[in-house]
Amino acid sequence: MSSAWSPFTALLVCVNLPVIQSESASSSAPARDDRTHLLDLSLAEFQTWLTEHGQPKFRAKQVFGWIYEKRVRDFDAMSDLPKTLREQLAKEFVIYRSQEAAVQTSRDGTDKLLVGLADGGEVECVLLRDGHRRSICVSSQVGCAMGCVFCASGLDGVDRNLTRGEIVEQMLRLQARLEPGERLSHIVMMGMGEPLANLDRVLGALETARSAEGLGISPRRITISTVGLPPAIDRLAKNGVPYNLAVSLHAPNEELRSQLVPVNEKIGIDAVLAAADRYFDASGRRLTFEYVLLGGVNDAPEHARELAQLLRHRTVLLNVIPYNPVEGLPYVTPSKRSIAEFRQILESGGVNVMFRQRKGDEIDAACGQLRRNRNAK
Ligand code: SAH
C-alpha cells in the first residue's frame, strides 16, 4: 500500500473516536450580531471594502496575516494596525461567529469538534494527526439531503447550506488546535453535507484555504467528496483548480445503488461514472471511489466482481470503508472473512484498492452522531 496521502485518511471523521476527553461549552445563546463575517470575504473583496473606506489596500494582507497565519481572534490583537482602524473593523466585522459546542479528543491524535452556529445549527469537523500530516475534515451543510441510508448526517434531512465563512471558520478552529509551529496540510470535504450541493460557497472557502494569504494549502492536498451530482461535477471541472474528487459509489449496480443512495434513482450510475471520467480528463487527478461495506448488503463476492468490472479500466483508487455503526440503523459491519474475500476479488480483478480498518470497539459513533447524540439528550 502506498504511503502517499490519500483522502481516506480523513474518513476517520466517520470512524468516530474513542473518546478520552469530552468537553461541553456553555449553551447560552449569543446575542444577534449584524456585523459582516470577515471570513466570508476574499482578499480582493476585503481590499475593496478598505479602499471604499479610505484605507490603504495593503491593510487587507496585514489583517489576513493576523487571522490565517498568526491565528488571532480579534482586531485588538493586530498590533501593527492603527487603533482607529482596529476599532472601525471591530464595528463592521466579526471574525469568529460560531462557538465550540463540544470537543472530543482521542488517544490517536484525532480531535472532533461540534460547532454551534450563530442560528443554533450544529456541524461537526475533525482534525487528524498522522505522522507529519495534519488533515482536517470539514462540513459543507447543516444536515444533508442525499439520504444515504447508512449515514447519520442525513437522517433528519438538510437544514441549510453553510456560508463560505462558516466553512472557513471550521478550518481555523481546527488550525487553532495545532501547536504554534504546526501547519494544516490536507483538507477533505467529507464532513456533514453534500459539498456539490453548496458548490459556490465550498469553492469560495477552498479559495481561502489554498490562497497564499489564507491557509496556503495546495489544491492537490484538498479533496471534495460527493455522492455524484453530474452537473456540479462538470462545474467543478470547469472551475479549473485541480482538487481531488472522491465519488461515493457504495454499490456496483443501479438497483443496489438506488437502494443505498436514494438520489441515484434520478441520476443513474452510468451518468455518475461518466461525469467522474470527464473530471479525470479535465483535471488529470486520479479519481477516488468510496465504498462503505455493509454486512450482508453490498459485500457479496458478486458485488466485488461487478465492482471490478466497473473500475478496472479506469485510473482510480477504490477506498473500501467497513461500515461504522450508527445507532438506530439496521446495518452491520461485515465479518473479517467477507472483508478479506471482497478485497481479494478486487485485487485480483486489477483494481487499485485500499481498505480502511475499523478502529476498534471503543468507537462510539459515526459521522453526524456527535450532533445527534447531544441533541437527543
Ligand atoms: N456527501 C458527500 C460527503 C460526506 S460523507 C459524500 O457522499 O461523499 C463522506 C463519506 O463518509 C461518504 O463516502 C459516506 O458514504 C461515508 N459515510 C457516511 N456514513 C458512514 C458510516 N456510517 N460508516 C462509514 N462511512 C460512512
| Structural domain count of the chain | 2
Range of the domain at 306: 99-369
The backbone torsions φ and ψ at residue 157, rounded to the nearest 5 degrees and listed phi first, read: 75, -165
Q: Whose CA is nearest to atom 20 of ligand 1?
A: 151
Q: Are residues 58 and 151 in the same domain?
A: no
Q: Are residues 72 and 126 in the same domain?
A: no
Q: Are residues 167 and 207 in the same domain?
A: yes
Residue 22: predicted pLDDT? 58
121 vs 129: CA distance, rounded Å: 27
Q: Are residues 191 and 313 in the same domain?
A: yes
Alpha-carbon distance values, 107 to 7, 24, 101, 292 (Å): 21, 19, 21, 25
| Reported pTM | 0.92
β-partners of residue 100 are: 115
Q: Which of 214, 219, 276, 264 is nearest to 244 (CA)?
A: 219
- Residue 314 CA to chain centroid, in angstroms? 25
Residue 9 lies in a domain: no
Task: Tell me if residue 255 is catalytic.
Answer: no
Q: What is the pLDDT of residues 57-97, one digit of tens each?
A: 999 999 999 999 999 999 999 999 999 999 999 999 999 99
Q: Whose CA is nearest to atom 7 of ligand 1?
A: 227
Q: What is the pLDDT of residues 7-40, one digit of tens each?
A: 333 343 444 444 555 555 544 555 678 999 999 9
CA of 3 to the centre of ligand 1 (A): 23
> Lowest mean pLDDT: which of 15-24, 213-222, 365-374?
15-24
Q: How far apart are the first and last CA of the chain?
A: 42
Read off the DSSP letter of residue 14: G
Q: Are residues 246 and 150 in the same domain?
A: yes
Q: Which atom of ligand 1 is nearest to the CA of 325?
A: 22
- Of 290, 319, 369, best ligand 1 pocket probe by most atoms within 8 Å of the beta carbon: 290
Give the containing element (helix H, strand E) for 301. Answer: helix 301-311
Residue 23: predicted pLDDT? 55
- Residue 196 CA to chain centroid, in angstroms? 11
The response to whether 22 counts as a known ligand-binding position is no
CA of 323 to the centre of ligand 1 (A): 9
Task: Tell me if residue 124 is catalytic.
Answer: yes
Residue 32: predicted pLDDT? 77
249 vs 290: CA distance, rounded Å: 6
Look at residue 124 and give its three-state secondary structure: strand
The response to whether 236 counts as a known ligand-binding position is no
Q: Provide the pLDDT confidence category of residue 364 given band limits of 50, 70 and 90.
A: very low
Torsion of CA 172, 175, 180, 183, to 10 degrees: -120
pLDDT at 369 over 60: no
Say how many C-beta atoms besides its own lie within 10 A of residue 347's C-beta.
Answer: 14
Ligand 1 pocket, Cβ-based, cut-off 6 angstroms: 11, 14, 146, 148, 150-151, 190, 194, 225-227, 248, 290, 292, 321, 323-324, 326, 366-367
Cell of 125: 469537523
